[in-house]
Amino acid sequence: MASSTASCLRALSRHTRVAQRLLTKKSFQTASYSLLARHQSVTNKRVLATRGLKTLDFAGSKEVVYERSDWPLAKLQNYFKNDTLALIGYGSQGHGQGLNARDNGLNVIIGVRKDGESWRQAIEDGWVPGESLFSIEEAIDRGTIIMNLLSDAAQSSTWSHISPLITKGKTLYFSHGFSVVYKDDTKVIPPKDVDVILVAPKGSGRTVRTLFKEGRGINSSVAVFQDVTGKAMEKAVAIGVAIGSGYMYETTFEKEVFSDLTGERGVLAAAIQGLFCAQYKVLRANGHSPSEAFNETVEEATQSLYPLIGEKGMDYMFNACSTTARRGALDWAPIFEATNRPVFEKLYESVKNGTETRKALEFNGRATYREDLAKELKEIDEQEIWRVGKVVRSLRPDYTPEH
Ligand SMILES: NC(=O)C1=CN([C@@H]2O[C@H](COP(=O)(O)OP(=O)(O)OC[C@H]3O[C@@H](n4cnc5c(N)ncnc54)[C@H](OP(=O)(O)O)[C@@H]3O)[C@@H](O)[C@H]2O)C=CC1
Ligand SMILES: CC(=O)[C@](C)(O)C(=O)O
Ligand SMILES: [Mg+2]
Ligand SMILES: [Mg+2]
């Protein structure tokens, strides 16, 4: 063990030296930096795997993690050689997960309602009607692993129709705990004789795809709701790798949906829009120009400071700011936390008691769900802050016109 660890460390320094030599050539600089990072991360991982460290310490809590490196492509393809992955639904996740699994060499088919928007998009992405693109019913019939990626509302409204098609021997997969956990509202009760598993990418389906194409991976959670074969967790992890996950952490269906609904209604999407608007409006009300208010609120956040948090953490971002900013950030962070914590408590309760679920089911279950959402999203697009944003983005030296 000690000698193999030592040999991995030797390999790390060898890779590092090679990459550093390349760095001296200016034209290779960017490519070489990523080469260096890739060699280092591969070699570091090998050290971990050699030690058999799959239970990691997350700031004092021990958690089991599953990594892509344990599933080389040949092993993955062999594992699924007798399977057909039938992806039902082709929204953001259907697109990302389906294309990644297809690129990984697995047998993937898509099932969506014929002649809808998703049918059109699937054809655009190279799925062929009658070969790899079918009606929902036919795809379920042909599939062994049924990946239910319809909208959460559609999972509920179609359930009575599709559940008899999910017969013994098939596997039922979700990317959200929603349908199964809120069964009193959704009426989704899986058949007793199939494995029921979940892999929930912690990011947009668009990023599931772009990270995969860059050779990177989205972090996902993984869970088992029902294990009939005794192989449910192994299968879930393998599918997680197939769809492009980098690493997976364990959860339950309930924990996944409670945290997911809280996150998207909180910091990930709703809270950030609320905070941006509040600050922008105060600056504007005090006579600041749109340029100043937008740059000081959104542009600097997304283009300069937030990427630093992603790279190396909050203290790194604070440290990259002036001592004046650091003093103010340290003083004001606890005030924002105290003010917002009760809002997050209220939000979590609204998730837990099913209020958020019932709203989503009612709204997105309407025949006009696409137009209704588009209308409200247009109102956001028309807010002064986001109209200003368009002009600011157009002034970036690397600007290319938006869609
Ligand atoms: N968006 C994301 O990035 C993430 C989503 N998830 C989860 O993944 C799952 C899929 O979400 P997402 O990819 O966003 O998809 P959407 O919520 O955007 O749903 C789109 C799909 O649902 C279909 N659909 C909607 N209504 C009906 C209906 N009445 N009958 C048949 N099909 C219908 C659409 O088909 P059509 O075009 O024909 O209307 C389309 O294929 C959900 O469980 C979601 O919570 C998990 C992680 C992140
Ligand atoms: C992208 C994601 O994970 C979300 C925000 O939870 C979702 O789209 O449902
Ligand atoms: Mg999510
Ligand atoms: Mg979500």
Encode pLDDT of 122-141 as tens digits.
999 999 999 999 999 999 99
User: Which residue CA neighbors atom 38 of ligand 1 most closely?
Assistant: 116
The residue whose CB lies within 8 Å of the most ligand 2 atoms, and thus the one to mutate among 178, 204, 267, is 204
> Ligand 1: which atom is nearest the Cα of residue 176?
43
Q: Would you say the CB of residue 260 lies under 6 angstroms from ligand 2?
A: yes
Residue 56 lies in a domain: no
pLDDT digits (tens, 9 = 90+) for 170-208: 999 999 999 999 999 999 999 999 999 999 999 999 999
For residues 393 and 388, give the distance between their C-alpha atoms in angstroms, rounded to a whole number: 9
First-last CA distance in the chain: 54
Question: What was the ipTM of the complex prediction?
Answer: 0.98
Burial group, residue 26, by CB count within 10 angstroms (0-12, 13-18, 19+): exposed
Residues 242 and 100 in one domain: yes
Classify residue 5: in a domain, yes or no: no
Protein residue whose Cα sits closest to atom 8 of ligand 2: 204
Instruction: Identify the domain containing residue 146 by its residue range.
Output: 65-250
271 plus 372 within the same structural domain: yes
Rg (CA), the chain: 24
Question: Are residues 186 and 224 located together in one domain of the fold?
Answer: yes
Which residues have C-beta within 8 Å of that of residue 259, sequence separation ≥ 6?
Answer: 251
Last residue of a domain, one of 250, 278, 313: 250
Check whether residue 207 and residue 323 sit in a common domain: no
Sign of CA dihedral 126, 131, 132, 137: positive
Residues in contact with ligand 1 (CB, 6 Å cut-off):
89-94, 112-113, 116-118, 149-152, 154, 157-158, 175-176, 178, 200-201, 204-205
Q: Is 176 assigned a catalytic role?
A: yes
Give the full edge-to-edge strand order of the sheet including 145-148: 55-58, 61-67, 245-250, 218-226, 195-201, 171-174, 145-148, 85-88, 108-111, 133-134
- Do 139 and 219 reside in the same domain of the chain? yes
Q: How do residues 242-285 score in pLDDT, each as one tens digit?
A: 999 999 999 999 999 999 999 999 999 999 999 999 999 999 99
Check residue 403 and give its pLDDT: 58
User: How many Å apart are CA 6 and CA 4, to the nearest integer?
Assistant: 5
309 shares its domain with 170? no
For the whole model, what pTM was predicted?
0.88
- Give residue-wise pLDDT tens across range 207-228: 999 999 999 999 999 999 999 9
User: How many domains does the chain contain in total?
Assistant: 2
Token duo for residue 106: 């697995």
